[in-house]
Structure 1
Amino acid sequence: MTKSEKTKEFIIAKAAPLFNKKGYAGTSMSDIMKATGLAKGGLYGNFESKDEIAALAFEYSYNQLKDDIGQKIRAKKTGVDKLLVILQYYKNYTVSPTVDGGCPLLNTAVDADDAYPFLKKKARQALQEMIGSLQHILKMGIQEGAFRSDLNVKKEAELIFAQIEGGIMMAKVLDDVTVLNRLLENLKNRMETEYMNNAE
């Protein structure tokens, strides 16, 4: 890795938690200068704009989350166990998040909305990837014979993801992690009663 690449990586690593906690508008170039100890010229010598830093900062935070949960999912062999480990992963997430500032996908999606199309595009790609992974795990459960063959994987993947992200949002707003944990427990119960092949 060249010195320039190392500097870029350093800037992104320092900027990522700022954007994830304070949002795009709330994060200034001065904040990034302070966090990195670099002068403005040091930032603009490596990046064209704040937009470029923000986009790469989101990717950095999202990849941190993805790598962390991905490791735990890959350690499990069956579709059932993979889904259970996802639900376990998000337990107490608002009080002990993997990424400083909480879920980067949720934060960026809310922050970007219609104001920052370049960030919304990044969040959309991440969302589609997450739902795609859930669909893959549900299909695996069906192929293994654990889940019902008539399970609507698209609908269920969307429901799981919406409940997790909605639970994170509610728990953060209410300062009450038990809201999130109850929703995760509901999803686990749904899996045990609605998904399993022996469900009546």
Structure 2
Amino acid sequence: MPKVETFDRNTVLQKATEVFHVKGYNGTSMQDLVDATDLNRSSIYNSFGSKLHMFLEVLSYYQSTFGNNISQKLAQSYNATEAIEAIFDLYVHEIINDNNRKGCLVVNCKSEMTNQEPLIKSFMEKNQDRMIAMLEDIVTKGQMEKIFNQNQTASQYALYLFSSIQGLRMTGILNKNEEDLRNLIRTILKVLY
């Protein structure tokens, strides 16, 4: 009979997220996870299987938490312009409030691990596809409403916006100046109008 978990999984994932976010996957030891989560090694292995599988669950937890924030912002948006601006505003907020300059866990992982581990590569591809599809839907709506130009397809603009967001997150590790970030975003979004 499998053992029942005697801990709150989300609390453990939150603590593990902090460690992986600061140290990266390769820099995080099992002892770091034991110390952060207050679980012993056997509990971690029994509950998550391995450091890799725990990390994949951390990535899903991190992505779903941030994804929920995006969904809430989009639900409050009146049109495509507000939706795109809300997404970028959320990223600026994340950058400005990142006091330890950790950057985005997903972007950091993408550069650290995507070419080293097939399961992480698969996660990153699905995450990227999901984000680009969301952006494409917004751009399509904006083009149909004649808010955005049609110089490029919605798919091309979505990839451009996704790449720009990735670059913004990397820039934000070293530059947290809100005025600089907002000027950068205005420049990025000019292509749509």
Report the TM-score when normalising by structure 1. Answer: 0.83
Instruction: Specify the alignment match of 1:177 in structure 2.
Output: 176
CA distance in structure 2 between the partners assigned to 1:48 and 1:30 by the alignment:
15
Letter in 1 for 2:39: L
What is the Cα deviation at residue 95 of structure 1?
Answer: 2.9
Instruction: Specify the alignment match of 2:36 in structure 1.
Output: 35
CA distance in structure 2 between the partners assigned to 1:8 and 1:147 by the alignment:
43
Q: Which runs of 4+ in 1 moved over 4 A?
A: none
CA distance in structure 1 between the partners assigned to 2:95 and 2:138 by the alignment:
24
Deviation per CA, 1:34-57: give whole Å up to 9, x if none.
111121122122121111101000
CA distance in structure 1 between the partners assigned to 2:150 and 2:183 by the alignment:
27
CA 1:181 to 1:7, structure 2 compared with 1: closer, same or farther past 3 Å?
Answer: same
What is the Cα deviation at residue 180 of structure 1?
Answer: 3.7
CA distance in structure 1 between the partners assigned to 2:121 and 2:149 by the alignment:
35
What is the Cα deviation at residue 124 of structure 1?
Answer: 1.2
What is the Cα deviation at residue 6 of structure 1?
Answer: 5.0
Instruction: Specify the alignment match of 1:125 in structure 2.
Output: 126
CA distance in structure 2 between the partners assigned to 1:5 and 1:184 by the alignment:
45
User: SS state of the match for residue 62, structure 1?
Assistant: helix
CA 1:150 to 1:63, structure 2 compared with 1: closer, same or farther past 3 Å?
Answer: same
Instruction: Specify the alignment match of 2:85 in structure 1.
Output: 84
RMSD over aligned Cα atoms = 2.3
How do 1:1-200 and structure 2 match up within 5 A?
4=5, 6-91=7-92, 93-97=94-98, 101-149=102-150, 151-172=152-173, 175-178=174-177, 180-191=181-192, 195=193
Letter in 1 for 2:94: Y
Report the TM-score when normalising by structure 2. Answer: 0.85
Instruction: Specify the alignment match of 1:198 in structure 2.
Output: none
Letter in 1 for 2:146: G
Q: Percent identity?
A: 24
| Structure 1 alignment gaps of length 5 or more | 196-200
| Structure 2 alignment gaps of length 5 or more | none
What is the Cα deviation at residue 3 of structure 1?
Answer: 5.4
In the alignment of these two chains, the number of paired residues is: 187
CA distance in structure 2 between the partners assigned to 1:144 and 1:176 by the alignment:
35
CA distance in structure 1 between the partners assigned to 2:6 and 2:61 by the alignment:
14
User: SS state of the match for residue 191, structure 2?
Assistant: helix
CA distance in structure 2 between the partners assigned to 1:157 and 1:186 by the alignment:
16
Bigger shift: 54-63 or 103-112? 103-112
CA distance in structure 2 between the partners assigned to 1:28 and 1:121 by the alignment:
23
The 8 Å contact of residues 135 and 157 in structure 1, kept in 2 or not, is answered as yes
What is the Cα deviation at residue 5 of structure 1?
Answer: 7.9
User: SS state of the match for residue 93, structure 1?
Assistant: helix
CA distance in structure 2 between the partners assigned to 1:35 and 1:63 by the alignment:
21
